[in-house]
């Protein structure tokens, strides 16, 4: 049965959840129905329908969107349609690289471990099996507490990030010059992964398999293959080179006065005041 609804428009000819389709206004990107997580696609009661109607009304009548991205990324590395979009889109990031310097303090054990690996250089990897944590304790670490993700990503030892591709995490990785191995699971993560991997080409994507559900299942052999490709292969080399170039653009966006972040923020404030 052919059926799919995206923003109230019928996607004609879509026979399966894995079939690639072209979305209007984004002709250079192909997605699948599995990539689209639709909120309440078939509202069953009046309260759900009311919520959806109010969301549509608010979206169509608002002044604009404040987006956690930056001009250089969207305009230079993405075939962006936002120059003609309505309502307007305001890019007011990357604030993740604007945090003040931390006061000297004792480094947590996971940062000490990264420092040690940086000093030692990379070593040859080995396959994973039973007793993994004990066997790799000298070259790997299992952390069972909350960690500061941004602090890890900007450590010189880190060259790749296995990420679910939530946009906050993806943007942090991009701004710190760390290539992404995308493993999306829910919500908008699949669309973010396609943008990161296929559009701006700052990473690779794991090879997942379907099992009657959305493609979430991953065999360890497939993960190992893509980790090796990201860290040692030609595609990974190109992605890591490219992401470091984009990270420099992120720094430019936050530069004092002349950066696109400050210019966009001034324009936004001025327009709001004029309204």
pLDDT in tens, 190-221: 889 988 998 889 999 987 654 434 556 778 88
Phi-psi region of 144 (alpha: psi -120 to 50; beta: other; left: phi over 0): alpha
* Dihedral of alpha carbons 199, 248, 184, 84, sign: negative
Mind listing the pLDDT tens digit for each residue in 1-26? Answer: 233 334 444 355 666 777 787 777 66
Residue 174 confidence class, pLDDT cut points 50, 70, 90: very high
Task: Name the nearest CA neighbour of 152 among 197, 112, 192, 203.
Answer: 112
Average pLDDT of the segment spanning 233-244: 94
């Amino acid at each position: 049965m052919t059926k799919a609804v995206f923003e109230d428009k019928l996607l004609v000819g879509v026979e399966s959840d894995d079939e690639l389709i072209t979305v209007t206004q984004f002709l250079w990107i192909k997605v699948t129905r599995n990539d689209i997580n639709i909120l309440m696609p078939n509202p069953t009661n009046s309260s759900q329908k009311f919520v959806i109607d109010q969301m549509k009304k608010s979206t169509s009548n608002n002044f604009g969107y404040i987006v956690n991205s930056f001009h250089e990324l969207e305009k230079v590395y993405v075939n962006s349609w936002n120059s003609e979009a309505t309502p307007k889109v305001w890019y007011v990031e990357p604030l993740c690289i604007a945090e003040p310097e931390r006061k000297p303090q004792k480094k947590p054990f996971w940062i000490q471990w990264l420092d040690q690996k940086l000093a030692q250089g990379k070593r040859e990897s080995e396959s994973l099996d039973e007793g993994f944590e004990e066997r790799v304790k000298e070259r790997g670490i299992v952390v069972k507490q909350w960690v500061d993700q941004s602090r890890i990503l900007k450590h010189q030892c880190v060259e790749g990030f296995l990420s679910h591709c939530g946009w906050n995490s993806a943007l942090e990785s991009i701004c710190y010059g760390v290539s992404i191995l995308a493993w999306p699971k829910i919500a908008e993560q699949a669309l973010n992964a396609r943008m990161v991997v296929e559009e701006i080409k700052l990473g690779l994507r794991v090879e997942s398999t379907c099992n009657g559900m959305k493609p979430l299942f991953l065999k360890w052999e497939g993960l190992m293959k893509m980790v090796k490709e990201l860290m040692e292969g030609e595609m990974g080399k190109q992605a890591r080179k490219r992401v470091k170039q984009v990270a420099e653009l992120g720094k430019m966006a936050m530069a004092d006065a002349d950066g696109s972040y400050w210019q966009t923020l001034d324009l936004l404030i001025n327009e709001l005041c004029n309204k």
